[in-house]
Amino acid sequence: MAQQADGSRQTPSSTPSVSGPASPSAPPPRPGISLSTPPPIAAVVKPPAPARVSRSLWVASFVAGIAVVATGFLGRDSHVERLKGVIGGMVPDGDANAVEGATAVVFLGSLTMLALVVAMEAILLAVLFKRRLWARWALAPLVLLHAVVTVITADFVVAPGADGTLTTALLAVQFILAAAGLILLFLPATTTWLLSERVT
């Protein structure tokens, strides 16, 4: 303890120094505990080779079917005139307007049925490649309907002789490709792929 000149003693100051060490800051709050876990990310399972070949055959069938519809519609004038003679021969006493109306219904109806079948097959094929097994079973009867529509279209849209060679070939090709694509969808490798669970 220091002694001043007059003999009194100086008491040390208890005030802390301004330049002393600062108190430590409080730690950041801890994040809360989440009771929910994020859903697992589904892994994309690559289709087997038969399924990929089947898809290519189906796409080629769609292209051929659309080509039949397009060429038939573009050449509708010659087809309608030919069908008028056919329907007029079946109903010789029929009214001209009725024959013309029946001809338009038969011709455009054949093309419309083929276009609808192709569209339904395309939709079901897209659903099937999302690994929906029921779409494969829905395609089977649709291919049978496709065969019936192909025969009807060949009767009313294909011109006789050499003029109808291209349309006949396209009709045959589009149905054969669709049937082959359906068969590949029933192979064991494709079935296993459709039935297998997605890897997470």
Q: What is the pLDDT of residue 107?
A: 86
Q: What is the pLDDT of residue 162?
A: 76
93 domain-assigned? yes
Rounded Cα gap, residues 129 and 135, in angstroms: 9
Rounded Cα gap, residues 181 and 173, in angstroms: 12
Confidence grade of residue 60 (pLDDT, cut at 50, 70, 90):
very high
87 domain-assigned? yes
13 domain-assigned? no
pLDDT, one tens digit per residue, over 19-41 is 555 555 667 777 656 555 555 55
Count of residues in the chain:
200
153 domain-assigned? yes
Percent of the chain at pLDDT above 70?
Answer: 73
Of the two residues 157 and 6, the one the predictor is more confident about is 157
pLDDT at 160 over 90: no
Confidence grade of residue 104 (pLDDT, cut at 50, 70, 90):
confident
Confidence grade of residue 78 (pLDDT, cut at 50, 70, 90):
confident
1 domain-assigned? no
pLDDT at 146 over 90: yes
pLDDT at 199 over 50: no
pLDDT, one tens digit per residue, over 80-98 is 777 777 777 676 666 777 7
Q: How far apart are the first and last CA of the chain?
A: 78
As for how many domains the chain has, the answer is 1
74 domain-assigned? yes
pLDDT, mean of residues 155-163: 80
109 domain-assigned? yes
69 domain-assigned? yes
Rounded Cα gap, residues 50 and 35, in angstroms: 44
Of the two residues 162 and 42, the one the predictor is more confident about is 162
Query: Which residues span the domain enclosing 130?
Result: 60-185
pLDDT at 116 over 70: yes
Q: Tell me the whole-structure pTM to 2 decimals.
A: 0.72
CA dihedral defined by 130, 131, 136, 137, rounded to 10 degrees? -120
Q: What is the pLDDT of residue 77?
A: 79
Between the alpha carbon of residue 171 and those of residues 68, 114, 200, the distances in Å are: 7, 10, 44
Helix (H) or strand (E) holding 117: helix 96-128
